[in-house]
Amino acid sequence: MTDAHALLARVVRALARPRRATYRLQLGPDLRFEEVAALAPYLADLGVSEAYLSPCFKSGPESSHGYDVTDHNAFNPEVGTEAAFDRTAAALAERGLGVLLDIVPNHMGIAGDSNPWWLDVLENGPSSSYASFFDIDWAPVKAELTGKVLLPILPDQYGRVLEAQGLRLEFAEGAFFVRYGEARLPIAPKTYALVLRHGLEALGERLGPEDPHFMELQSILTALDHLPPRTETDPGRRAERFREKEIVKRRLAALVKESEEVRAFVEENVRAFNGTPGEPRSFDRLDGLLSAQAYRLADWRVAGDEINYRRFFDVNHLAAIRMELPEVFEVTHRLVLRLVGEGKVTGLRVDHPDGLYAPGEYFRRLQEGAVRETARRLQPDLDEAGLEALLARYREAAAADPAAPSARPLWILAEKILLGDERLPEWWPVAGTTGYDFLASANGLFVDRDAARPMTSTYARFVGARTAMADLVYATKRLIMLTSMASEINMLGLDLDRISETNRLSRDFTLSSLVRVLREVIACFPVYRTYVGDERLEVSPRDRAYIEMAVAEARRRIPTVNVSIFDFVRDTLLLRHLPELGAEEGGARRHFVMRFQQTTGPVTAKGVEDTALYRYNRLVSLNEVGGDPARFGEPVSAFHERSAERLARWPETLLATSTHDTKRGEDVRARIHVLSEIPRDWRAQVGRWGRLNRRKKVVVGGQLAPDRNEEYLLYQTLVGTWPLGSPGPAELADYRARIRAYMEKATKEAKVHTSWINPSEEYDRAVQAFVVAVLEDTPGNRFLAELRAFQARIVRYGLLYALGQTVLKIASPGIPDLYQGTELWDFSLVDPDNRRPVDYATRRALLEKLRERIAASGGDLVRLARELAETLEDGRVKLYVVHRGLAARRELPGLFATGAYLPMEAQGERAEHVIAFARQAGDRVAVAVVPRLATRLGKGPEALPLGEEAWGESWLPLPTGITARRFDHCFTGERLEPLEREGRPVLGGELDEGVELFERDLPRLVEAATEDRLGR
């Protein structure tokens, strides 16, 4: 055990590394491994320590994101080979950069014919070696689907597609397929006989019964008849089926090649099965063949009601896999864990862990895999006994202290969305989240909380309705459960109905009443999911509170339902009375709870992220993943509390402000925030815009399109995204195209007048025409002139807040995350807008010039800082803030990694306009100071940069215990000495003596010199 202890310590040290910041890169044809390797010098010069790569394993055809993995153990050829990845990892490592890799354990892509596992399931049904890998219900409610997979991929009803020859039988290399579009779907070998027996008697008459080719064909048919059925699950019979069917294919391929007569016979039968347009009965043969398969082709719209495999949310071409099975985990993580063990991957970002059956167990297995593979590299002669001893030691350490480095040696970040005051489960062996919790907290700091009432009133007046966000979320989650995810809810209801039948106290509950209650409880669920039964049977106080809260709210909303049904559902979800039940019944209840928890997350994501956030448009900068638009801003004190808690529990969590999934980029949100500070002006302006543009609408279905709510969203979007400077014709044309694409997505996601499932082409055209009309650059378009003038009033404040949130991200506890391209101004919207190629040549050139000027300055950066502040719109100032801030993290790694977090409270006339905190480690101190609600400080955009007169008599007391006598200004290089006020050291005084802390309007990151330097 001593050897295991020592080896575990070596493993922990090998997996640990100093981390300053991550830089997210969206891989694809425009950014392959070679291009990432070429970016290594730039990323290192920028100051990041980790290249954060989007999924790079083999994925579906023309995938733009990589989340539709089709082979976990092969790299996506569109981004490069394994050799190219190795070269990239080496190039990054040479510059001191690690690789944070995004992995997708919840689901796989099954579009077309690119996933060999899925094709095997389609060919062999339950007999497939991979049948258990996918989360398929082989015995669904609909009897016609027993032993089959519903395949909702057709653009229209099955019969119509069939008779239009959209499905065609093909033969190649001894196998039959059905072609749909670019994909070839397998035909079960046993059903080849349906094709080969058609016209067989006539062939025999032509060739004669003794013809060797005819005899071989008959022998093949006999072999097909003796194949084990697709329902066979015995391992031996499965192996026999696989072996014999492949032999049949080889024999048939050889026969067709040898015999011209048999080849012509097969080709004629294929033509006969493919039917004749205009003759419906001619398609009966192909229909019969398809009906005999292990899959049922269907219109894609039926998925919501009848699909019998679990999906990623409601995306039909992303099928969930059963990661809870050890064999599935092992085979899907073979490559990535090898890369971790080899030191080529230094961290993992885990996509959508809430979709997993048991997320906590999954993270433990991931850590164990990293420990195992790293140990094999460090000690190649390690035998199985030594390996087991090592893993046993790891489990002991993890159980003793889940927060210890030995419990979570691999840097794992969970894409976990936390709602409200929800906290990440502390027993997960991860480093933290992907940063949406920080985004929500920091985002709200720049919203004027006092404007909640007037902004709500303006919104309600403009759209003609007043709806509470909570009621809207309840309604949209119910909508999702009644439409695109109805099948999942019905399956849950059936499972619960079976459980209720096992007890005389619950057997009278009807299926319809159970489904209704389940639907209501999920609609009222306050978080994405709970984790009851995940590696432990006891229910945590956290999960118990959420379940009881959801049941109580559901009971309040539908008081007509028998209270005892709610009690039954609550007790089942809380695993009450489990010791009183037998093993089989107890197992069934635990399984139901786990499946219930896998369902609440997708319903919340679709109901909130993809519906409600496109409907509730009071201030859309708050409509972000992990945020709550009903909370109008964030108190500074709440931000401090969350930061201190993050340092104590999750010091290596990510801090994000933009991601590939955010609804709008960080700089867009920062500009829209400003509207909260000018509610009266906004009310007058948006009302005038509505009147100016009314004639640009058209009537669709008896109402004007777009509706007022969509119009309100559009105006905020234009304010937030209008290009800096004066866009020329080409830039304006590109901008119009982007806004058109965004509004199409926004209106379809909102699901009010149009949707992806049931699009209204007429309504869509009307919205598109409206966007074009309001953005028409003509002298008569008064709206566009007013938009330009209005956004010019607020744009610089938005840039100021964008810089502020950047400083907060860099200085706060955690690891700052930069999304590709956002080191300059970036006004992207939701994907795919935020996945456009990034101009790295420009960024490299700008950074190089800044570094040259910094090097030549001799530490006096005042002139450079003033120049950047006076030319805010060119974006160099943001690049400078990022670069200098990350340089501070590089110079003082311990301070920012583990240094104490000390909130600071400004005093004086403008105290509410300051966000400030200190980080302290020994005699090292860093102070971050950021302005907020700045429109009250200046007198219009011409007042920016702010002068000291804007601050009046304001000062910032240093926290107790900080005695630094001098600070070095990170952005100007100035030496700043604290003043004394009321017996305490302060920064600022009256802000007209010495420090001039806010003079150039740059957010501040000030680092203290050491006592040694002070002495010199």
pLDDT tens-digit map of 800-855: 999 999 999 999 999 999 999 999 999 999 999 999 999 999 999 999 999 999 99
Name the helix (H) or strand (E) containing 585: helix 583-604
Q: Which residue has the higher pLDDT, 623 or 976?
A: 623
Question: Of the ranges 194-203, 531-540, 869-878, 940-949, which one carries the lowest mean pLDDT score?
Answer: 940-949
- pLDDT average, residue stretch 25-50: 97
Tokens 């049922």 belong to residue: 296
pLDDT tens-digit map of 358-379: 999 999 999 999 999 999 999 9
Does residue 1000 have a pLDDT over 50? no
- Name the phi and psi angles at 123, rounded to 5: -75, -40
Q: What is the pLDDT of residue 940?
A: 66
Q: What is the pLDDT of residue 936?
A: 86
CA distances from 890 to 14, 460, 461, 646, 876 (A): 20, 49, 51, 20, 21
Q: Nearest Cα to 196, choosing from 179, 213, 173, 220?
A: 220
CA–CA separation, 68 and 63 (whole Å): 7
Question: Of the ranges 256-260, 507-511, 998-1002, which one carries the lowest mean pLDDT score?
Answer: 998-1002
CA–CA separation, 183 and 176 (whole Å): 13
pLDDT-above-70 percentage for the chain: 96
Tokens 């014999």 belong to residue: 244
Phi/psi class of residue 242: alpha, beta or left (left: φ > 0; alpha: ψ in -120 to 50)?
Answer: alpha
Name the helix (H) or strand (E) containing 442: helix 436-443
Does residue 180 have a pLDDT over 90? yes
Average pLDDT, the chain: 93
Asked if residues 959 and 918 have their Cβ atoms less than 8 Å apart, the reply is yes
pLDDT-above-90 percentage for the chain: 86
Tally the C-alpha atoms within 13 A of residue 86's C-alpha that lie toward its C-beta: 6
Q: At how many degrees (to 10) do helices 284-291 and 260-273 cross?
A: 90
Q: What is the pLDDT of residue 586?
A: 87
pLDDT tens-digit map of 393-451: 999 999 988 888 889 999 999 999 999 899 999 999 999 999 999 999 999 999 999 99
CA–CA separation, 426 and 417 (whole Å): 15
Q: With bands split at pLDDT 50, 70 and 90, how would you rate the model's confidence at 947?
A: low
Token pair of 88, please? 């990239």
Taking the chain, what is the end-to-end CA distance rounded to the nearest angstrom?
A: 51
Q: With bands split at pLDDT 50, 70 and 90, how would you rate the model's confidence at 1016?
A: very low
Q: Nearest Cα to 903, choosing from 445, 452, 437, 426?
A: 445
Q: Count the neighbouring beta carbons within 10 Å of the beta carbon of residue 185.
A: 22
Q: What is the pLDDT of residue 503?
A: 86
CA–CA separation, 152 and 133 (whole Å): 20
CA–CA separation, 546 and 524 (whole Å): 10
Nearest-10 Cα torsion for 757, 758, 763, 769: 30
Asked if residues 653 and 435 have their Cβ atoms less than 8 Å apart, the reply is yes
All residues at 6 or more sequence positions from 667 whose CB lies less than 8 Å from its CB, including other chains: 798, 799, 802, 822, 825, 826, 827
Q: What is the pLDDT of residue 1013?
A: 29
Q: What is the pLDDT of residue 946?
A: 65
- Name the phi and psi angles at 617, rounded to 5: -115, 35
pLDDT tens-digit map of 331-360: 999 999 999 999 999 999 999 999 999 999
Does residue 980 have a pLDDT over 90? no
CA–CA separation, 274 and 282 (whole Å): 8
Angle at 829 between CA 826 and CA 833, to 5 degrees: 90
Question: Of the ranges 32-41, 74-83, 126-135, 498-507, which one carries the lowest mean pLDDT score?
Answer: 498-507
CA distances from 887 to 587, 657, 797, 880, 970 (A): 54, 19, 26, 10, 9
Beta bridge partners of 1007: 926, 968
Token pair of 828, please? 């992207």
Q: What is the pLDDT of residue 1012?
A: 31
Question: One-letter amino acid identity for 876?
Answer: R
Does residue 700 have a pLDDT over 90? yes
Does residue 236 have a pLDDT over 60? yes
Does residue 993 have a pLDDT over 50? no
All residues at 6 or more sequence positions from 987 whose CB lies less than 8 Å from its CB, including other chains: 927, 929, 955, 956, 958, 967, 976, 978, 979, 995, 997, 1006
> Would you give the distance in Å from CA 607 to the centre of its chain?
15
Bond preceding residue 759 cis, omega within 30 of 0: no
Q: With bands split at pLDDT 50, 70 and 90, how would you rate the model's confidence at 999?
A: very low
| Helices (H), ranges, 135-234 | 158-163, 192-196, 200-207, 212-225
Q: What is the pLDDT of residue 985?
A: 81
CA distances from 817 to 653, 673, 846 (A): 10, 21, 21
Q: Nearest Cα to 597, choosing from 536, 661, 518?
A: 518
Q: What is the pLDDT of residue 942?
A: 58
Q: What is the pLDDT of residue 446?
A: 97
pTM assigned to the model: 0.94
Q: What is the pLDDT of residue 1?
A: 47
Does residue 81 have a pLDDT over 90? yes
Q: What is the pLDDT of residue 655?
A: 98
CA–CA separation, 747 and 756 (whole Å): 9
Q: With bands split at pLDDT 50, 70 and 90, how would you rate the model's confidence at 965?
A: confident
Does residue 997 have a pLDDT over 50? no
